C-alpha cells in the first residue's frame, strides 16, 4: 500500500493548515496546479543547464506545492471535474518532463537508460490502470509505488548522481505496482460478476 494510504491522517495535520494558508492567500486550485507544473519545467531546465542540486530542489518544491491543489479545492468547496482533469493532465506532463530529463542524463549509459525507460513505462501504466479502473467503477488505489513515492525516489537520484539505482528501483517497484493493481481490479470484477450471477438466480 502506498504512503498516502497509510499516513493520510498524519499528513492531514500538516497539509490542511498549509492548504488553508494558500486559500487565504488567494491561490486557486488551478493556479496551484499551474505553478507546480511551471516549477517542474523551470527546475528541470536549471538541472539540465548544469545545476542538478538546485534544479532538483526547485522541482521538489514545485511537486510539493502541486500536492495542495486538491486540498485547497476541498477547503474552498471549488472541486470540479475540469479541475480534476487538468490536475491529472498536468501531473502526467510533469512526470514526462522529469523522466525526459532522466533519459537525457542517461543517454550514454545503456543500462541506466533502459532502467529509466522501464520506470517511465511503469509509471504511465500505473496511472492508466487507475484511471481506467475508476471509469469502470473499480478501485485501483493500491500499490507499492504511487506518484509521491516516484518523485521522492527519482529526484534525489537525478540530482545527486545515483540515477541508475533510482531508475531500477522504480522499474521494479512499478512492475510490482502494476501487478498489484491488476490483481485488485480483477478481484473486484470477479466479485461483481458473482453478485450479478447471484441476482439472476
Active site residue ranges: 91
Residue 167: which residues within 8 A CB-CB, separation 6 or more? Answer: 102, 106, 112, 115, 116, 118, 119, 154, 157
* Residue with cell string 447471484: 198
Q: Tell me the three state secondary structure of residue 94.
A: helix
Q: Which long-range contacts (CB under 8 A, 24 or more apart) does 181-185 make?
A: 181/126, 181/129, 181/130, 181/133, 181/140, 181/142, 181/143, 182/129, 184/138, 184/139, 184/140, 184/142, 185/129, 185/133, 185/138, 185/140
**Residue of 70, 71, 69, 82 whose CA lies nearest to 31:** 69
Per-residue cell: 36: 507546480
Residue 166: which residues within 8 A CB-CB, separation 6 or more? Answer: 153, 154, 156, 157, 158
Amino acid at each position: 500500500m502506498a504512503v498516502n494510504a497509510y499516513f493520510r491522517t498524519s499528513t492531514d495535520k500538516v497539509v490542511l493548515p498549509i492548504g488553508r494558508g494558500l486559500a487565504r492567500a488567494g491561490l486557486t486550485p488551478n493556479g496551484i496546479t499551474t505553478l507546480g507544473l511551471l516549477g517542474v519545467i523551470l527546475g528541470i531546465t536549471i538541472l539540465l543547464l548544469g545545476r542538478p542540486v538546485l534544479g532538483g530542489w526547485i522541482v521538489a518544491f514545485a511537486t510539493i506545492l502541486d500536492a495542495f491543489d486538491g486540498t485547497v479545492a476541498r477547503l474552498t468547496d471549488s472541486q470540479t471535474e475540469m479541475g480534476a482533469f487538468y490536475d491529472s493532465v498536468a501531473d502526467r506532463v510533469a512526470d514526462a518532463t522529469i523522466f525526459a530529463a532522466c533519459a537525457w542524463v542517461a543517454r550514454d549509459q545503456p543500462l541506466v537508460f533502459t532502467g529509466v525507460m522501464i520506470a517511465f513505462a511503469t509509471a504511465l501504466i500505473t496511472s492508466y490502470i487507475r484511471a481506467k479502473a475508476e471509469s469502470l467503477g473499480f478501485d485501483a488505489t493500491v500499490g507499492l509505488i504511487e506518484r509521491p513515492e516516484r518523485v521522492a525516489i527519482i529526484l534525489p537520484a537525478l540530482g545527486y548522481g545515483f540515477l541508475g539505482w533510482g531508475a531500477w528501483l522504480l522499474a521494479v517497484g512499478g512492475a510490482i505496482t502494476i501487478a498489484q493493481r491488476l490483481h485488485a481490479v480483477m478481484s473486484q470484477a470477479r466479485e461483481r460478476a458473482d453478485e450479478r450471477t447471484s441476482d439472476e438466480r
